[in-house]
Amino acid sequence: MNLFSRSPNKPALSNKSSFDLIVRLIEPLASAGLSPIERLAVLKLKQEGALPLELLAERVATDLYHEELRNGAWVVDIGFFGNRLFVPDVIKEIQQRNGSLWKIEEGKPL
């Protein structure tokens, strides 16, 4: 699901900054069966509560980046790209799981 395009039952959110979109955990879940991105996003939302989409994506991307460095990715010069290499995939996966793991809505974090 793309939050920034028009779909039949949803209004377009293209004029919204990702800081205007807040991600709230629907219910705390065990991390079994979750992808690394989902696992990290659930962990951040459990620890910090609702977060702006852009901030959540940045924090999850940073954690993924550090995990890759610990696993030897420094050998392939991942350091030149930093965490921004992961941000598009993180945002995509957060959007895809909207409604099942968390809810993305307009507003301010609590």
Structure tokens at 84: 């921004």
Structure tokens at 36: 């690394």
- pLDDT, tens digit, for every residue of 50-85? 999 999 999 999 999 888 888 776 556 666 677 888
Per-residue model confidence (pLDDT) at position 93: 96
12-28 confidence digits (pLDDT tens) = 344 455 558 999 999 76
CB of 102 closer than 8 Å to CB of 34: no
51 and 103 Cβ atoms separated by less than 8 Å: no
